[in-house]
Amino acid sequence: MTRPVPAIVILGNGSLATARRIQQVYPDALIHGLAERVDGADHVYREFGSTLRELYQQGTPIIALCAAGIVIRTLAPLLLEKGAEPPVLAVAEDGSAVVPLLGGLGGVNVMAREIAAALDVSAAITTSGELRFGTCLLNPPSGYVLGDLELGKRFVSDLLAGETVRIEGSAPWLAQAQLPEDAQARLAVHVGHAERTPQANELLIYPRSVVVAVSGAVSDLSNAIRQALHQAAIAVQSLACLLAPDTEMTHPALRETARELGVPLRFAKAETDMGELARNAVGQPVSILGDDAIAIAVADNPLDPLLIGRPRGRLAVIGLGPGAAELMVPAVKSELARANDVLGYETYVRMAGPFRADQVLHCTDNREEMQRARHAFELAAQGRSVVVVSSGDPGVFAMAAAVLEALHESTDVHWHNVDLEILPGVSASLATAAQAGAPLGHDFCVLSLSDNLKPWAIIEKRLDLAAQADLALAFYNPISRSRPWQLGQALEIVARHRGPETPVVLGRDIGRPGQTLRVTTLGLLTPDQVDMRTMVLIGSSLTCVFPRADGGEWVYTPRWYGEKPAS
Ligand code: SAH
């Protein structure tokens, strides 16, 4: 069963050697190095505090090669918030000390021991129970779940006070712990899938050894499952996953119920009998309880949901924003983290990185959009988690429409079953406008000047009408080597309706290294000032410009039109 991949964060070149040794323990982990201080990191960050907090909030285990105090101060504002607490460790930059700081229940001590072993030092473990017994009873390995944390804490403090303990049920990992076992002990660790009210002297640990196979058509699904488990005297905590027929992949009740029960949802080849469905999908001996509609399959040992049936495939079309990581929405970052496959134009795929070794990149030429969209569905239909990358917003002259067109044309039910989502980004016109002030502060019109996929005549007509309507204009794809004359013609059309003093903003590579922003006028604008990496914003008759204190200029279009209202 998989654990989340940690991030190794370093502040200077002095830590790189130690970071690489730690990376050998976690080969998929990336080394995040501070810009201009670290050469040869896998990923470059600019701001330590925001980077660390973001990783923490995403639940990424953090191995920071710096003073423990820095890490504590940086994460302190987040510690009072509720939510998952990933493991956080501070490691001395020379590898001489490994200090687990947070995430006791997320396995931080296990990681501390693993890292310490690789660095040939001992981990600074401070958890009493763990020191005494060599394992954290409250943090069973994956495949097992603790019944109740508060009862568990009391149980461990009784043990620490010198009591002995009995172990009931099968718990292979506990055999390696140095527990003070005694068959007559008052305290007992009970491992099993049965529903049970814990006695005062009992620590309950549930193996995730149960699968419920169900159709989404069952009414009041979540309650029906809880009731079926209760009737079979099986603890809901023992549920490893929910299993459903693959003909019901899009059923909202299944997804909702799996989320509510906190278990993965998997699908297997449809059978009328749910018991049969479960037996085939689990692939090891199970006893089947329940009834025709809700079958409960119970195995002897914990089950790995990743090996049962398959998940519903997912396809997300994401917008990276203009380029800078700070301008990428958090939902896009998490989507990239969960992706198995990433498709897109090579430049954008590279911008979306860094990626882990287990993520597959499919880089293609910029013009192969429909082929890329179909390839994305083929991968997602296999149950993979697929991301198609666009710059800016995916719905603005980019991949979202191509993906939907491919789906619309397809009769393949597997494609239509994919969990498809479009995640927005900051489009180039908006990123450029924000840097200039608010040139699009009133009604505006967005046009692509590319006549690759539409006739030039329609572009001329739209330009003419938009300019006539006194809309501010945003030009995407303004010019390219194969389209050298179009921009000049477009500017002529605009000039029929707008004066030479009309403000113009040119944003080039906005949000990317070497970005430039120019404020000029329609009269002074010539096509040679523009290339395919430029955004052209043309003001309306009311757009105005005034100096900034720092020497530049602010451009804005007022919110009103006609006469300025009294304020
Ligand atoms: N989906 C993208 C647009 C793709 S069309 C978005 O929403 O931004 C490509 C055109 O967008 C380029 O020719 C250029 O005009 C503009 N563009 C994209 N990124 C840009 C950036 N970082 N700075 C300036 N213009 C950009």
Domain harbouring 378, CATH code: 3.40.1010.10
Q: Residue 495 C-alpha to ligand 1 middle, in angstroms?
A: 24
179 and 84, same structural domain?
no
Ligand 1 proximal residues by C-beta, below 6 Å: 322-323, 390-393, 396-398, 427-428, 432, 476-478, 507-512, 532-535
301 and 220, same structural domain?
yes
* pTM for the predicted model, two decimal places: 0.79
Q: Choose among 61, 17, 11: nearest CA to 36.
A: 11
Domain membership flag for residue 248: yes
Please tell me whether the peptide bond between 394 and the residue prior to it is cis, using omega within 30 degrees of 0: no
Domain membership flag for residue 381: yes
**539 Rama sector, left if φ>0, alpha if ψ -120 to 50, beta otherwise:** beta
Domain membership flag for residue 457: yes
Domain membership flag for residue 415: yes
Where residue 452 sits, what CATH number does that domain have? 3.30.950.10
Domain membership flag for residue 552: yes
- Residues 30, 44 contacting (CB under 8 angstroms): no
- Measured by CA distance, the residue closest to atom 20 of ligand 1 is 428
Domain boundary among 410, 426, 442: 426
Q: Residue 535 C-alpha to ligand 1 middle, in angstroms?
A: 6
Where residue 14 sits, what CATH number does that domain have? 3.40.50.11220
Residue type, 396: V
Domain boundary among 207, 223, 241: 207
Q: Choose among 404, 430, 422: nearest CA to 510.
A: 430
515 and 486, same structural domain?
yes
Q: Choose among 507, 509, 504: nearest CA to 555.
A: 504
Number of compact structural domains in the chain? 5
328 and 281, same structural domain?
no
In which domain, by residue range, is 230 found?
Answer: 215-307
Closest ligand 1 atom number to CA of residue 390: 1
Cα dihedral 157→161→164→166 (10° resolution): -10
Q: Residue 322 C-alpha to ligand 1 middle, in angstroms?
A: 7
Closest ligand 1 atom number to CA of residue 398: 1
Q: What is the pLDDT along the chain (567 residues), one digit of tens a residue?
A: 467 899 999 999 999 999 999 999 998 889 999 999 999 888 899 999 999 999 998 889 999 999 999 999 999 989 887 667 899 999 999 999 999 999 887 889 889 999 999 999 999 988 877 777 767 777 788 899 988 888 888 888 888 888 899 888 887 878 777 788 898 999 899 999 999 887 778 889 999 999 999 988 888 999 999 999 999 999 999 999 999 999 999 999 999 999 999 999 999 998 888 999 999 999 889 999 988 889 999 999 999 999 999 999 999 999 999 998 889 998 999 899 899 999 999 999 999 988 888 899 999 876 789 999 999 999 999 999 999 999 999 999 999 999 999 999 999 999 999 999 999 999 999 999 999 999 999 999 999 999 999 999 999 999 999 999 999 999 999 999 999 999 999 999 999 999 999 999 999 999 999 999 999 999 999 999 999 999 999 999 999 999 999 999 999 999 999 888 987
293 and 221, same structural domain?
yes
236 and 202, same structural domain?
no
Domain boundary among 400, 426, 452: 426
Domain membership flag for residue 108: yes
Domain membership flag for residue 74: yes
C-alpha distances in Å from residue 536, one per residue of 149, 492, 501, 502: 59, 15, 16, 13
93 and 20, same structural domain?
yes
Q: Residue 447 C-alpha to ligand 1 middle, in angstroms?
A: 12
Q: Residue 40 C-alpha to ligand 1 middle, in angstroms?
A: 29
389 and 287, same structural domain?
no
Domain membership flag for residue 169: yes
535 and 548, same structural domain?
yes
Closest ligand 1 atom number to CA of residue 395: 1
320 and 388, same structural domain?
yes
